[in-house]
Amino acid sequence: MEYFAQQAINAIQLGSIYALIALGYSLVYGVLSMMNFAHGDVFMVGAFACLLLVSIFPVPFIVALLAVMVITALLGVLIERVAYRPLRNAPKVSAIITALGCGLVIQNTTLSLSPYPRPMPRLFESVPFEFAGVTMNTLQLFIIGVSAGLMVALDFVIRKTDWGIALRATSCDRTTVPLMGVPVNRVISITFAVGGTLAGAAGVLYSQAYPVVGASMGALIGWKAFVAAVIGGIGNVRGAVLGGYILGAVEVATVVALPSTWRDLIAYSLLLVILIFKPHGLLGSPVQQKV
Partner 1 sequence: MSALRNFGSSLAACRWAMPVLAVSVMLVAVIHQQFGLFNGYVEFVLITAGINIILCASLNLVNGYMGEFSVGHAGFMAVGAYAAGLLAVKVLPGATPVWAFPLVVVFGGLVAAFIGFLLALLSFKTRGDYLAIITLAFLMIVKSAMENIPFTGGPRGLLGIERLTTLPQTAAWVIITLWVIRNLVYSKFGRAITAIREDELAAGAMGVRTREAKILAFVVSSFFGGVAGSLFAHQLQFINPATFDIIKSTDILVMVYIGGVASLTGSVLGAVLVTLLAQVLQPLGTWRAVVMPLTLVFLMLFRPRGLLGLREFTWFLPGRELLGRIKEKLS
Partner 2 sequence: MKLPLILASVLSVAVLAGCGKKAADSSSAVRIGLNVELTGELPAVGASSKNAVELHVAQINAAGGITIGGKKVPLELVIGDNGAKADQAAATAQRLLSQENVLVMVGPNASSCAIPASEIAESLKAPMISPWSTNPKTTVNAQTGKSKTYVLRGCFTDLFQAGVLAKFTLTDLKAKRAAVLFDVASEAPNGQANLYKETFEKLGGVISSFETYTTGDRDFSAQLTKIKASNPDVIFLPVYYSDVPLITQQARQLGITAQFVGSDAWSSPEIVKLGGAALESAYFCNHYSTEIATPAAKKFMADYEAKYGHAPDDVAALSYDSVGFMVKAIEAAGVADREAVRVALASIPSYEGVTGAMHFTPGSGDPVKSAVILQIKGGKFVWVANATP
Binding to partner 1 (CB under 8 A) within 34-63 occurs at 35
**Binding-site member from 105, 211, 249, 280 for partner 2 (CB under 8 A):** 211
Residue 194: CB atoms within 10 A of its CB come to: 22
Among 33, 52, 78, 137, binds partner 2 (CB under 8 A): 137
Say whether residue 289 binds partner 1 (CB under 8 A): yes
Asked if residue 33 binds partner 2 (CB under 8 A), the reply is no
Which of 57, 131, 156, 262 binds partner 1 (CB under 8 A)? It is 262
- Cβ neighbours, 10 Å, residue 125: 9
Nearer to partner 1, 257 or 276 (CB): 276
d(CA 47, CA 51): 6
User: CA angle 281-21-73, nearest 5°?
Assistant: 130
Asked if 113 touches partner 2 (CB under 8 A), the answer is no
Distance in angstroms (rounded) separating the CA atoms of residues 80 and 189: 7
Q: Are the CB atoms for 261 and 251 separated by under 8 Å?
A: no
Binders of partner 2 among 229-258, rule CB under 8 A? 252, 255-256
Burial class (CB in 10 A: 0-12, 13-18, 19+), 205: buried
Instruction: List contacts with partner 1 (CB under 8 A).
Output: 33, 35, 83, 86-87, 90-98, 100-105, 108-109, 111-112, 115, 219, 223, 227, 230, 234, 259, 261-262, 264-265, 267-269, 271-272, 275-276, 279-280, 289, 291
Residues that bind partner 2 (CB under 8 A): 3, 6-7, 10, 14, 111, 115-119, 126, 128, 135, 137, 210-212, 214, 216, 220, 252, 255-256, 259-261, 263
